[in-house]
Structures are given as structure tokens and as C-alpha cells.
């Protein structure tokens, strides 16, 4: 499998992370996203007319949506990551996959504004990002009440990998994660998974802060 990749892209990172956890080897084709805008050049537009990355090639198959790539990797190497449980679990996986696109739109756009000076209403993007984080915090807290550490189940699924990068990088867009103990516990659980790999800004070592606890715990 060949991944057209930009090292600082959270969407590319989630595909690299999923492959690393599953032990699937990827051929990495680095893309000069910034400042070269290679993703909008003729070679990559022929693969993905939308002009975005990542792009995953496997033989005749070309995937241009990161959620589809996560599903393909899981189906190829570890189908339990797709959510092999009840209809409720399957629905939760799909709901959080959809939610991950909102994180890209608000937390991701805030990060691009702050790091690459992309145009945008930063105050509005940050407000939308904070609203999304509050929703995620509530969902994880409810899962904790059910005795589950992850978004859709007691074990990680592709939904967790889809949501993790943009949440972990929220501070790059000027949004602190300090008010969200359930999110921080969840991030620690993901960082602890066998095969976890880093990207710039997302480190294996935990922050030098006291362990977070969900509201109501001491």
C-alpha cells in the first residue's frame, strides 16, 4: 500500500497510526503540501480531483477519504477495529466517524489559521472547536459511566483513531485541553496502545501534570 503523506497533516497521521498499530507496512510518498502545494499539481489531481491528502493506493484501489482508509486497513488486518459488537456499538462507531469530520472542519481549520496563516474567522473556529470538545467530553464521560474507556466500546475502534489527532493538536489552534479530564484520560489510553507512533506535536510521553479524573472523582 502506498500513502501519499504530509508529516504535519493530522489526517495523514491517523492513517499512519492505524497502520502502525495493526502492523501493516505502508510505502510512504511524501507530498510537498506546504509551501509547494504539490497536492494541487497534475500528478496528484489525477488521483484525487478534490486536491486533498491523504491518498491511499493499493493496486487498482485509490482511497481519498481518511475514514475509508481506516476502515480498509482494519478490514485488511484486524476487523475487530470496525466494531464487531451490538447494533448500538456499530452505530456509535459510525456516529463518531462522522463527528471526526467536524473536528477537521473546526479544530483543524483553527490549527491551519494559527500555523500556516490560512484565512478564516479564528474566533468562530475556536468557538466551534470548543463546542465539539464539550460534546466529545460528554460522550467519553458517559462511556466511562458504562465502564468503557473508548468512544464506541470497551476496546478501541477506528472511531478513536479518526478523532484522536485533531483533538490532541487542538492547542496548536489556541484551544486548551485542560478543562476536559475525560478527553485527556482517553488520549492517554490511545497513547498507551501497542504500536502507537508519534507525529510532531503528539508525543508518547504524557504531560507533566497530575493524572486527570472525570468530574466527580477524587
Q: What is the distance of C-alpha 148 from the center of its chain?
A: 19
CATH number of 83-191: 1.20.1050.10
Ranges for all domains in the chain classified under CATH 3.40.30.10: 2-80
Q: Which percentage of the chain shows pLDDT scores above 90?
A: 80
The HSE-up count of residue 171 (CA atoms within 13 Å, CB side) is: 10
Fold of 2-80: Glutaredoxin (3.40.30)
pLDDT digit string (tens) for 47-90? 999 999 999 999 999 999 999 999 999 999 899 999 877 888 99
Q: Which percentage of the chain shows pLDDT scores above 70?
A: 93
Biggest CA-to-CA distance, the chain: 57
User: pTM for the whole thing?
Assistant: 0.90
> Is there a contact between 100 and 164 (Cβ–Cβ < 8 Å)?
no
User: How far, CA to CA in Å, does 119 sit from each of 107, 109, 214?
Assistant: 14, 9, 36
Amino acid at each position: 500500500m502506498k500513502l501519499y503523506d504530509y508529516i504535519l497533516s493530522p489526517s495523514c497521521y491517523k492513517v499512519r497510526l492505524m497502520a502502525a498499530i495493526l502492523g501493516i507496512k505502508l510505502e510512504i510518498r511524501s507530498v510537498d503540501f506546504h509551501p509547494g502545494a504539490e497536492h494541487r499539481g497534475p500528478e496528484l489531481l489525477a488521483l484525487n480531483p478534490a486536491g486533498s491528502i491523504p491518498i491511499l493506493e493499493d493496486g487498482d484501489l485509490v482511497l481519498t477519504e481518511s475514514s475509508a482508509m481506516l476502515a480498509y486497513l482494519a478490514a485488511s488486518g484486524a476487523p475487530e477495529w470496525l466494531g464487531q459488537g451490538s447494533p448500538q456499538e456499530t452505530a456509535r462507531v459510525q456516529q463518531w466517524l462522522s463527528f471526526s469530520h467536524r473536528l477537521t472542519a473546526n479544530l483543524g481549520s483553527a490549527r491551519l489559521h494559527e500555523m500556516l496563516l490560512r484565512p478564516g474567522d479564528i474566533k468562530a473556529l475556536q468557538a466551534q472547536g470548543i463546542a465539539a470538545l464539550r460534546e466529545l467530553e460528554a460522550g467519553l464521560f458517559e462511556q466511562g459511566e458504562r465502564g468503557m474507556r473508548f468512544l464506541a466500546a470497551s476496546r478501541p475502534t477506528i472511531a478513536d483513531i479518526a478523532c484522536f489527532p485533531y483533538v490532541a493538536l487542538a492547542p496548536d489552534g489556541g484551544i486548551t485541553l485542560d478543562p476536559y479530564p475525560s478527553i485527556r484520560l482517553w488520549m492517554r489510553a490511545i497513547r498507551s496502545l501497542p504500536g502507537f507512533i508519534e507525529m510532531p506535536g503528539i508525543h508518547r510521553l504524557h504531560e507533566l501534570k497530575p493524572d486527570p479524573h472525570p468530574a466527580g472523582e477524587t
